[in-house]
Protein backbone atom coordinates (compact mmCIF):
# COMPACT_ATOMS: atom_id res chain seq x y z
CA UNK A 1 0.00 0.00 0.00
CA UNK A 2 1.41 3.37 -1.02
CA UNK A 3 0.59 6.82 0.27
CA UNK A 4 -3.08 7.75 -0.12
CA UNK A 5 -4.52 11.23 0.14
CA UNK A 6 -6.01 11.76 3.56
CA UNK A 7 -9.66 12.55 3.97
CA UNK A 8 -10.60 16.04 5.16
CA UNK A 9 -11.08 14.98 8.78
CA UNK A 10 -7.65 13.32 8.98
CA UNK A 11 -5.97 16.25 7.25
CA UNK A 12 -7.59 18.68 9.66
CA UNK A 13 -6.27 16.68 12.64
CA UNK A 14 -2.80 16.56 11.10
CA UNK A 15 -2.71 20.35 11.03
CA UNK A 16 -2.42 20.29 14.83
CA UNK A 17 0.92 20.38 16.65
CA UNK A 18 -0.14 19.96 20.31
CA UNK A 19 3.28 20.19 21.98
CA UNK A 20 4.34 23.19 19.92
CA UNK A 21 1.03 24.91 20.66
CA UNK A 22 1.44 24.26 24.40
CA UNK A 23 4.94 25.74 24.35
CA UNK A 24 3.68 28.86 22.58
CA UNK A 25 0.95 29.25 25.20
CA UNK A 26 3.49 28.89 28.01
CA UNK A 27 5.75 31.50 26.44
CA UNK A 28 2.92 34.03 26.19
CA UNK A 29 2.13 33.64 29.90
CA UNK A 30 5.61 34.81 30.93
CA UNK A 31 5.74 32.31 33.81
CA UNK A 32 8.46 33.00 36.41
CA UNK A 33 10.68 29.87 36.52
CA UNK A 34 11.69 28.43 39.88
CA UNK A 35 12.41 25.03 38.31
CA UNK A 36 15.13 23.58 36.13
CA UNK A 37 16.92 24.11 33.78
CA UNK A 38 19.08 26.50 35.73
CA UNK A 39 19.78 28.90 32.90
CA UNK A 40 16.21 30.23 33.56
CA UNK A 41 15.09 30.84 29.97
CA UNK A 42 18.63 31.90 29.09
CA UNK A 43 19.00 34.75 31.58
CA UNK A 44 21.77 32.93 33.41
CA UNK A 45 23.74 32.05 30.29
CA UNK A 46 23.88 34.95 27.80
CA UNK A 47 26.50 33.18 25.63
CA UNK A 48 24.04 30.32 25.11
CA UNK A 49 21.34 32.81 24.06
CA UNK A 50 23.77 34.44 21.64
CA UNK A 51 24.56 31.05 20.09
CA UNK A 52 21.08 29.53 19.92
CA UNK A 53 18.76 32.54 19.99
CA UNK A 54 16.35 33.80 22.64
CA UNK A 55 13.31 31.88 21.40
CA UNK A 56 15.14 28.56 21.29
CA UNK A 57 16.59 28.91 24.80
CA UNK A 58 13.31 30.18 26.24
CA UNK A 59 11.61 26.97 25.07
CA UNK A 60 14.20 24.75 26.75
CA UNK A 61 11.93 23.98 29.67
CA UNK A 62 11.19 21.21 32.15
CA UNK A 63 8.20 18.86 32.23
CA UNK A 64 5.16 20.42 33.95
CA UNK A 65 1.43 19.81 33.89
CA UNK A 66 0.64 22.12 30.94
CA UNK A 67 3.40 20.44 28.90
CA UNK A 68 2.82 16.81 29.90
CA UNK A 69 5.63 14.31 30.64
CA UNK A 70 7.31 12.05 28.08
CA UNK A 71 7.69 9.22 30.60
CA UNK A 72 3.93 9.03 31.14
CA UNK A 73 2.06 11.14 28.58
CA UNK A 74 -1.55 12.03 29.42
CA UNK A 75 -2.25 15.27 27.53
CA UNK A 76 -0.38 17.18 24.81
CA UNK A 77 2.42 14.64 24.27
CA UNK A 78 -0.14 11.84 24.24
CA UNK A 79 -2.12 13.68 21.57
CA UNK A 80 1.02 14.39 19.55
CA UNK A 81 2.01 10.70 19.66
CA UNK A 82 -1.48 9.72 18.53
CA UNK A 83 -1.19 12.07 15.57
CA UNK A 84 2.21 10.56 14.72
CA UNK A 85 0.76 7.05 14.86
CA UNK A 86 -2.00 8.11 12.49
CA UNK A 87 0.44 9.76 10.09
CA UNK A 88 2.73 6.71 10.06
CA UNK A 89 -0.14 4.19 9.94
CA UNK A 90 0.91 2.57 13.23
CA UNK A 91 -1.13 1.48 16.23
CA UNK A 92 1.07 3.51 18.56
CA UNK A 93 4.00 5.91 18.25
CA UNK A 94 6.55 6.83 20.91
CA UNK A 95 8.54 10.07 20.80
CA UNK A 96 12.18 9.19 21.42
CA UNK A 97 14.80 11.75 22.45
CA UNK A 98 17.83 9.44 22.67
CA UNK A 99 18.18 9.09 18.92
CA UNK A 100 17.19 6.03 16.94
CA UNK A 101 19.72 4.15 19.04
CA UNK A 102 17.22 4.35 21.93
CA UNK A 103 14.39 3.36 19.61
CA UNK A 104 16.24 0.30 18.28
CA UNK A 105 17.20 -0.75 21.78
CA UNK A 106 13.62 -0.28 22.94
CA UNK A 107 12.48 -2.69 20.22
CA UNK A 108 15.02 -5.37 21.08
CA UNK A 109 14.72 -5.07 24.86
CA UNK A 110 10.93 -5.24 24.74
CA UNK A 111 10.86 -8.61 22.99
CA UNK A 112 14.12 -10.31 24.06
CA UNK A 113 15.37 -11.50 27.41
CA UNK A 114 18.47 -13.42 28.45
CA UNK A 115 18.90 -16.57 26.38
CA UNK A 116 16.30 -15.67 23.75
CA UNK A 117 17.32 -15.98 20.12
CA UNK A 118 16.83 -13.18 17.61
CA UNK A 119 17.41 -13.61 13.87
CA UNK A 120 19.15 -10.67 12.23
CA UNK A 121 21.66 -9.71 9.54
CA UNK A 122 25.24 -9.13 10.66
CA UNK A 123 25.38 -5.67 9.04
CA UNK A 124 23.25 -4.12 11.79
CA UNK A 125 23.94 -0.81 13.48
CA UNK A 126 25.93 -1.04 16.68
CA UNK A 127 22.81 -0.12 18.69
CA UNK A 128 21.35 -3.57 17.95
CA UNK A 129 24.36 -5.47 19.25
CA UNK A 130 24.58 -3.07 22.21
CA UNK A 131 21.02 -4.12 23.07
CA UNK A 132 22.09 -7.77 22.96
CA UNK A 133 24.92 -6.95 25.38
CA UNK A 134 22.35 -5.41 27.73
CA UNK A 135 19.68 -8.11 27.61
CA UNK A 136 21.73 -11.27 26.98
CA UNK A 137 19.84 -12.38 23.87
CA UNK A 138 21.60 -14.65 21.40
CA UNK A 139 22.05 -13.43 17.81
CA UNK A 140 21.37 -15.82 14.95
CA UNK A 141 22.98 -14.13 11.99
CA UNK A 142 21.61 -14.37 8.47
CA UNK A 143 24.74 -13.22 6.70
CA UNK A 144 23.51 -11.31 3.65
CA UNK A 145 24.99 -11.68 0.22
CA UNK A 146 27.85 -9.29 -0.44
CA UNK A 147 28.55 -7.17 -3.47
CA UNK A 148 32.26 -7.87 -3.82
CA UNK A 149 32.90 -4.92 -6.09
CA UNK A 150 31.12 -2.31 -3.95
CA UNK A 151 32.19 -3.88 -0.69
CA UNK A 152 28.71 -3.62 0.86
CA UNK A 153 26.18 -6.04 2.28
CA UNK A 154 22.96 -6.54 0.37
CA UNK A 155 19.53 -7.44 1.75
CA UNK A 156 18.24 -10.46 3.66
CA UNK A 157 17.08 -13.12 1.21
CA UNK A 158 13.81 -14.86 1.93
CA UNK A 159 15.20 -18.39 1.66
CA UNK A 160 18.04 -17.54 4.09
CA UNK A 161 15.56 -16.16 6.61
CA UNK A 162 13.39 -19.25 6.18
CA UNK A 163 16.41 -21.49 6.75
CA UNK A 164 17.32 -19.61 9.94
CA UNK A 165 13.72 -19.83 11.20
CA UNK A 166 13.53 -23.59 10.59
CA UNK A 167 16.89 -24.15 12.30
CA UNK A 168 15.89 -21.89 15.23
CA UNK A 169 12.14 -22.38 15.75
CA UNK A 170 12.49 -21.01 19.30
CA UNK A 171 13.67 -17.59 18.09
CA UNK A 172 11.41 -14.78 19.28
CA UNK A 173 11.96 -12.21 16.55
CA UNK A 174 13.47 -11.32 13.19
CA UNK A 175 15.16 -7.95 12.80
CA UNK A 176 15.56 -6.35 9.35
CA UNK A 177 17.54 -3.30 8.18
CA UNK A 178 15.26 -1.59 5.67
CA UNK A 179 16.51 0.37 3.84
CA UNK A 180 20.23 0.05 4.54
CA UNK A 181 22.43 3.13 4.69
CA UNK A 182 23.23 2.55 1.01
CA UNK A 183 19.57 2.19 -0.08
CA UNK A 184 19.30 -1.61 -0.31
CA UNK A 185 15.88 -3.08 0.57
CA UNK A 186 14.85 -6.65 1.40
CA UNK A 187 11.54 -8.31 0.54
CA UNK A 188 10.02 -7.01 3.73
CA UNK A 189 6.46 -8.22 3.13
CA UNK A 190 7.65 -11.79 2.50
CA UNK A 191 9.88 -11.78 5.60
CA UNK A 192 7.00 -10.49 7.75
CA UNK A 193 4.65 -13.17 6.42
CA UNK A 194 7.23 -15.89 7.01
CA UNK A 195 8.05 -14.76 10.56
CA UNK A 196 4.41 -14.40 11.55
CA UNK A 197 3.66 -17.90 10.27
CA UNK A 198 6.19 -19.10 12.86
CA UNK A 199 4.92 -16.82 15.68
CA UNK A 200 7.93 -14.52 15.56
CA UNK A 201 7.81 -10.73 15.77
CA UNK A 202 9.37 -8.60 13.05
CA UNK A 203 11.43 -5.57 14.11
CA UNK A 204 12.56 -3.10 11.45
CA UNK A 205 15.49 -0.74 11.82
CA UNK A 206 14.00 1.94 9.58
CA UNK A 207 16.45 4.65 10.59
CA UNK A 208 16.86 5.68 6.96
CA UNK A 209 13.24 5.26 5.91
CA UNK A 210 11.10 8.10 7.29
CA UNK A 211 10.26 9.21 3.75
CA UNK A 212 8.91 5.77 2.80
CA UNK A 213 5.69 6.62 4.67
CA UNK A 214 5.01 9.69 2.57
CA UNK A 215 6.67 9.34 -0.83
CA UNK A 216 5.34 7.58 -3.91
CA UNK A 217 7.14 4.95 -6.01
CA UNK A 218 9.41 4.16 -3.06
CA UNK A 219 10.00 0.82 -1.28
CA UNK A 220 7.33 -0.38 1.14
CA UNK A 221 7.50 1.00 4.69
CA UNK A 222 7.54 -1.24 7.76
CA UNK A 223 4.01 -0.57 8.97
CA UNK A 224 2.49 -1.17 5.53
CA UNK A 225 4.47 -4.41 5.29
CA UNK A 226 2.87 -5.61 8.54
CA UNK A 227 5.95 -5.35 10.77
CA UNK A 228 5.38 -5.35 14.53
CA UNK A 229 7.79 -2.56 15.44
CA UNK A 230 9.86 0.00 13.55
CA UNK A 231 12.50 2.55 14.54
CA UNK A 232 12.26 5.68 12.42
CA UNK A 233 14.92 8.42 12.40
CA UNK A 234 12.80 11.51 11.98
CA UNK A 235 15.94 13.64 12.21
CA UNK A 236 17.49 11.99 9.14
CA UNK A 237 15.08 12.37 6.24
CA UNK A 238 12.12 13.72 8.22
CA UNK A 239 13.47 17.15 9.14
CA UNK A 240 13.33 17.10 12.96
CA UNK A 241 16.22 18.01 15.26
CA UNK A 242 19.20 15.69 15.63
CA UNK A 243 18.61 12.99 18.26
CA UNK A 244 14.82 12.92 17.82
CA UNK A 245 13.23 9.70 16.63
CA UNK A 246 10.07 7.58 16.64
CA UNK A 247 9.35 4.03 17.77
CA UNK A 248 6.28 2.67 15.98
CA UNK A 249 4.32 -0.40 17.08
CA UNK A 250 1.76 -2.53 15.24
CA UNK A 251 -1.46 -4.15 16.34
CA UNK A 252 0.14 -7.32 17.77
CA UNK A 253 2.34 -5.44 20.24
CA UNK A 254 1.51 -4.56 23.85
CA UNK A 255 2.52 -0.91 23.67
CA UNK A 256 2.03 -0.39 27.41
CA UNK A 257 4.77 -2.93 28.09
CA UNK A 258 7.00 -1.31 25.47
CA UNK A 259 6.50 1.97 27.31
CA UNK A 260 7.79 0.38 30.51
CA UNK A 261 10.85 -0.94 28.71
CA UNK A 262 11.58 2.45 27.14
CA UNK A 263 11.44 4.04 30.59
CA UNK A 264 14.21 1.75 31.83
CA UNK A 265 16.71 3.86 29.90
CA UNK A 266 14.81 6.94 28.67
CA UNK A 267 15.74 10.24 30.30
CA UNK A 268 13.32 11.75 32.82
CA UNK A 269 14.41 15.20 31.61
CA UNK A 270 13.32 15.02 28.00
CA UNK A 271 14.15 18.04 25.84
CA UNK A 272 11.08 19.95 24.66
CA UNK A 273 13.15 21.24 21.77
CA UNK A 274 13.42 17.66 20.52
CA UNK A 275 9.82 16.74 21.38
CA UNK A 276 8.38 19.81 19.67
CA UNK A 277 10.58 19.24 16.62
CA UNK A 278 9.05 15.77 16.26
CA UNK A 279 5.58 17.27 16.57
CA UNK A 280 6.19 20.02 14.00
CA UNK A 281 8.02 17.71 11.58
CA UNK A 282 5.24 15.12 11.68
CA UNK A 283 2.77 17.86 10.77
CA UNK A 284 5.00 19.03 7.94
CA UNK A 285 5.34 15.52 6.51
CA UNK A 286 1.66 14.71 6.87
CA UNK A 287 0.63 17.86 5.02
CA UNK A 288 3.48 18.28 2.52
CA UNK A 289 5.52 15.07 2.55
CA UNK A 290 4.19 13.62 -0.69
CA UNK A 291 5.20 16.67 -2.70
CA UNK A 292 8.49 17.12 -0.83
CA UNK A 293 9.74 13.58 -1.35
CA UNK A 294 8.73 13.58 -5.00
CA UNK A 295 11.21 16.47 -5.40
CA UNK A 296 13.82 14.62 -3.32
CA UNK A 297 13.54 11.55 -5.57
CA UNK A 298 13.81 13.69 -8.70
CA UNK A 299 16.92 15.48 -7.40
CA UNK A 300 18.62 12.23 -6.42
CA UNK A 301 17.88 10.61 -9.77
CA UNK A 302 19.15 13.68 -11.60
CA UNK A 303 22.34 13.64 -9.52
CA UNK A 304 22.77 9.92 -10.21
CA UNK A 305 22.56 10.45 -13.97
CA UNK A 306 24.94 13.41 -13.93
CA UNK A 307 27.54 11.66 -11.76
CA UNK A 308 27.48 8.51 -13.88
CA UNK A 309 28.00 10.65 -16.99
CA UNK A 310 31.29 11.94 -15.52
CA UNK A 311 32.84 8.49 -15.90
CA UNK A 312 34.88 6.66 -13.27
CA UNK A 313 32.15 6.93 -10.63
CA UNK A 314 29.25 4.52 -10.20
CA UNK A 315 26.17 6.05 -8.59
CA UNK A 316 24.10 2.91 -8.15
CA UNK A 317 20.33 2.76 -8.07
CA UNK A 318 17.43 0.66 -9.31
CA UNK A 319 19.77 -1.09 -11.75
CA UNK A 320 20.91 -3.18 -8.75
CA UNK A 321 17.45 -4.70 -8.17
CA UNK A 322 17.53 -8.49 -8.66
CA UNK A 323 14.35 -9.56 -6.86
CA UNK A 324 16.21 -11.32 -4.03
CA UNK A 325 19.27 -9.84 -2.27
CA UNK A 326 18.29 -6.43 -3.66
CA UNK A 327 14.52 -6.68 -3.70
CA UNK A 328 14.08 -2.92 -4.06
CA UNK A 329 16.18 0.24 -3.94
CA UNK A 330 15.53 3.58 -2.23
CA UNK A 331 16.28 6.08 -5.00
CA UNK A 332 16.66 8.97 -2.52
CA UNK A 333 19.98 7.43 -1.42
CA UNK A 334 22.82 8.83 -3.51
CA UNK A 335 25.44 6.12 -2.97
CA UNK A 336 28.54 6.39 -5.15
CA UNK A 337 31.33 3.88 -5.75
CA UNK A 338 34.66 5.71 -6.09
CA UNK A 339 37.45 3.17 -6.41
CA UNK A 340 37.47 3.16 -10.21
CA UNK A 341 39.10 6.62 -10.00
CA UNK A 342 41.72 5.15 -7.68
CA UNK A 343 40.40 6.82 -4.53
CA UNK A 344 38.79 5.31 -1.46
CA UNK A 345 35.40 6.73 -0.55
CA UNK A 346 36.83 8.32 2.58
CA UNK A 347 39.45 10.11 0.48
CA UNK A 348 36.75 11.63 -1.74
CA UNK A 349 34.77 12.47 1.42
CA UNK A 350 37.75 14.39 2.81
CA UNK A 351 38.47 16.18 -0.48
CA UNK A 352 34.86 17.33 -0.81
CA UNK A 353 34.97 18.85 2.68
CA UNK A 354 38.50 20.26 2.70
CA UNK A 355 38.78 21.53 -0.88
CA UNK A 356 35.17 22.22 -1.90
CA UNK A 357 33.35 22.99 1.38
CA UNK A 358 30.89 20.16 0.76
CA UNK A 359 30.00 17.91 3.71
CA UNK A 360 28.55 14.56 2.71
CA UNK A 361 27.16 11.86 5.01
CA UNK A 362 29.86 9.21 4.84
CA UNK A 363 32.88 7.81 3.10
CA UNK A 364 33.97 4.21 3.55
CA UNK A 365 36.78 2.30 1.88
CA UNK A 366 34.96 2.14 -1.46
CA UNK A 367 31.88 4.42 -1.43
CA UNK A 368 30.49 7.80 -0.49
CA UNK A 369 26.93 8.68 0.43
CA UNK A 370 25.41 12.09 -0.17
CA UNK A 371 22.21 12.33 1.85
CA UNK A 372 19.48 14.02 -0.22
CA UNK A 373 16.41 15.21 1.69
CA UNK A 374 13.75 17.88 2.04
CA UNK A 375 16.21 20.72 2.70
CA UNK A 376 18.29 20.29 -0.47
CA UNK A 377 18.21 22.49 -3.56
CA UNK A 378 19.08 21.75 -7.18
CA UNK A 379 21.96 24.24 -7.06
CA UNK A 380 23.50 22.20 -4.23
CA UNK A 381 23.28 19.08 -6.41
CA UNK A 382 24.99 20.93 -9.26
CA UNK A 383 27.79 21.99 -6.93
CA UNK A 384 28.33 18.41 -5.76
CA UNK A 385 28.40 17.07 -9.33
CA UNK A 386 30.90 19.75 -10.36
CA UNK A 387 33.15 18.99 -7.40
CA UNK A 388 33.16 15.26 -8.15
CA UNK A 389 34.12 15.97 -11.76
CA UNK A 390 36.92 18.22 -10.51
CA UNK A 391 38.18 15.59 -8.07
CA UNK A 392 38.35 13.00 -10.84
CA UNK A 393 40.34 15.40 -13.04
CA UNK A 394 42.75 16.57 -10.34
CA UNK A 395 43.18 13.69 -7.89
CA UNK A 396 42.39 10.39 -9.60
CA UNK A 397 44.93 7.56 -9.53
CA UNK A 398 45.28 4.21 -11.22
CA UNK A 399 42.58 1.86 -9.81
CA UNK A 400 44.94 -1.13 -9.79
CA UNK A 401 46.98 0.59 -7.07
CA UNK A 402 44.09 0.06 -4.67
CA UNK A 403 44.17 -3.10 -2.53
CA UNK A 404 41.20 -5.45 -2.85
CA UNK A 405 38.76 -4.82 -0.05
CA UNK A 406 35.28 -6.09 0.66
CA UNK A 407 32.90 -6.78 3.52
CA UNK A 408 34.34 -9.52 5.73
CA UNK A 409 31.99 -12.08 7.23
CA UNK A 410 32.89 -12.61 10.91
CA UNK A 411 32.94 -15.89 12.82
CA UNK A 412 30.76 -15.71 15.96
CA UNK A 413 32.13 -17.73 18.87
CA UNK A 414 29.95 -16.58 21.77
CA UNK A 415 27.17 -14.14 22.65
CA UNK A 416 27.97 -10.41 22.73
CA UNK A 417 27.01 -10.17 26.40
CA UNK A 418 29.26 -13.07 27.48
CA UNK A 419 32.22 -11.70 25.55
CA UNK A 420 31.72 -8.11 26.69
CA UNK A 421 31.70 -9.00 30.39
CA UNK A 422 34.40 -11.71 30.28
CA UNK A 423 37.94 -11.29 31.57
CA UNK A 424 40.04 -9.60 28.91
CA UNK A 425 43.47 -8.27 28.06
CA UNK A 426 44.63 -5.50 25.72
CA UNK A 427 46.92 -6.38 22.82
CA UNK A 428 48.27 -4.51 19.78
CA UNK A 429 45.88 -5.10 16.89
CA UNK A 430 48.57 -6.85 14.82
CA UNK A 431 48.95 -9.48 17.57
CA UNK A 432 45.27 -10.37 17.97
CA UNK A 433 44.83 -12.82 15.09
CA UNK A 434 42.88 -15.88 16.21
CA UNK A 435 41.73 -14.28 19.47
CA UNK A 436 38.12 -13.50 20.44
CA UNK A 437 37.22 -9.83 20.50
CA UNK A 438 35.46 -8.41 23.57
CA UNK A 439 34.65 -4.93 22.25
CA UNK A 440 33.51 -3.17 19.08
CA UNK A 441 35.53 -1.88 16.15
CA UNK A 442 33.70 0.17 13.52
CA UNK A 443 33.93 3.01 11.06
CA UNK A 444 31.43 5.74 11.94
CA UNK A 445 29.36 6.43 10.01
CA UNK A 446 27.79 4.01 9.15
CA UNK A 447 28.32 2.43 12.59
CA UNK A 448 28.21 -1.19 11.40
CA UNK A 449 30.77 -3.14 13.45
CA UNK A 450 33.78 -4.60 11.64
CA UNK A 451 34.18 -6.59 14.85
CA UNK A 452 31.68 -7.13 17.65
CA UNK A 453 32.11 -8.78 21.06
CA UNK A 454 32.29 -12.57 20.73
CA UNK A 455 33.76 -12.67 17.21
CA UNK A 456 37.05 -14.24 16.16
CA UNK A 457 39.71 -11.88 14.83
CA UNK A 458 41.20 -12.92 11.50
CA UNK A 459 44.13 -11.72 9.43
CA UNK A 460 41.70 -10.24 6.87
CA UNK A 461 39.86 -8.27 9.54
CA UNK A 462 43.12 -6.88 10.94
CA UNK A 463 44.19 -5.80 7.43
CA UNK A 464 40.80 -4.17 6.87
CA UNK A 465 41.02 -2.19 10.12
CA UNK A 466 44.56 -1.03 9.34
CA UNK A 467 43.58 -0.01 5.81
CA UNK A 468 40.51 1.91 7.03
CA UNK A 469 42.67 3.72 9.60
CA UNK A 470 45.31 4.55 6.98
CA UNK A 471 42.71 6.05 4.66
CA UNK A 472 41.32 8.26 7.42
CA UNK A 473 38.06 6.52 8.40
CA UNK A 474 36.72 7.61 11.79
CA UNK A 475 37.27 4.50 13.92
CA UNK A 476 35.22 3.97 17.08
CA UNK A 477 34.19 1.39 19.64
CA UNK A 478 37.49 0.46 21.25
CA UNK A 479 38.58 1.33 24.75
CA UNK A 480 41.84 2.55 23.22
CA UNK A 481 41.02 5.95 21.72
CA UNK A 482 43.78 5.57 19.11
CA UNK A 483 42.44 2.16 17.98
CA UNK A 484 45.92 0.65 18.19
CA UNK A 485 45.01 -1.96 20.83
CA UNK A 486 42.10 -4.37 21.05
CA UNK A 487 40.57 -5.99 24.11
CA UNK A 488 40.47 -9.77 23.65
CA UNK A 489 39.35 -12.62 25.87
CA UNK A 490 41.99 -14.12 28.11
Q: State the DSSP string of 343-386.
A: --HHHHHHHHHHHH----SEE-SSEEEEE--TT--HHHHHHHHH
The pLDDT, as a whole number, for residue 456 is 96
pLDDT higher than threshold 80 for residue 483: yes
pLDDT higher than threshold 90 for residue 260: yes
What gap in Å lies between CA 175 and CA 450, rounded to an integer?
19
Omega of the bond prior to 304 within 30 degrees of 0, cis?
Answer: no
* Overall fold of domain 288-401: 3.90.1150
Round the average pLDDT of the chain to a whole number and report it: 94
pLDDT higher than threshold 50 for residue 1: no
232-236, 260-264, 426-430, 468-472: lowest mean pLDDT where?
468-472
The pLDDT, as a whole number, for residue 457 is 96
Phi and psi torsions of 201, nearest 5°: -80, 155
The pLDDT, as a whole number, for residue 4 is 46
* Overall fold of domain 411-489: Ornithine Decarboxylase; Chain A, domain 4 (3.90.100)
| pLDDT one-digit tens code per residue, 340-351 | 999 999 999 999
pLDDT band for position 2 (50/70/90)?
very low
Phi and psi torsions of 459, nearest 5°: -60, -40
pLDDT higher than threshold 80 for residue 404: no
Helical axes 76-87 vs 272-310, angle rounded to 10°: 30
Instruction: Tabulate helix, strand, coil % of the chain (nearest 5).
Output: 40, 15, 40
pLDDT band for position 403 (50/70/90)?
low
The pLDDT, as a whole number, for residue 3 is 43
56-70, 86-100, 300-314, 390-404: lowest mean pLDDT where?
390-404
CATH number at 8-16+71-287: 3.40.640.10
Instruction: Count Cβ neighbours within 10 Å for each residue of 430-454 and write b for 16 or more, e otherwise.
Output: eebeebbbbbbbbbebbbbbbbbbb
Provide the whole-model pTM.
0.94
Q: Domain residues of the chain, as ranges? A: 8-16+71-287, 288-401, 411-489
pLDDT higher than threshold 70 for residue 106: yes
Amino acid sequence: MKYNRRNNKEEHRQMRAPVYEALETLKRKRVVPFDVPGHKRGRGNPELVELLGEKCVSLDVNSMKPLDNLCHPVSVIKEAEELAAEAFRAEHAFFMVGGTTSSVQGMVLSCCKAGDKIILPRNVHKSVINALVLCGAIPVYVNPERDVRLGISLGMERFEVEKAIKENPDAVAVLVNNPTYYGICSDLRAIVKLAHEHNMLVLVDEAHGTHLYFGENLPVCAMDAGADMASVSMHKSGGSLTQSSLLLTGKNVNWEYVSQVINLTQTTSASYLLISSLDISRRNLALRGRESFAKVSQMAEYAREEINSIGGYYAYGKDMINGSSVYDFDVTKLSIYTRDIGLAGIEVYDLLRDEYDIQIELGDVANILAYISIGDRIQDIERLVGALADIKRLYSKKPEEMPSMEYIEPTVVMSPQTAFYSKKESLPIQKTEGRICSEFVMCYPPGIPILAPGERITKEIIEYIMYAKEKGCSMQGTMDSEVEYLNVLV
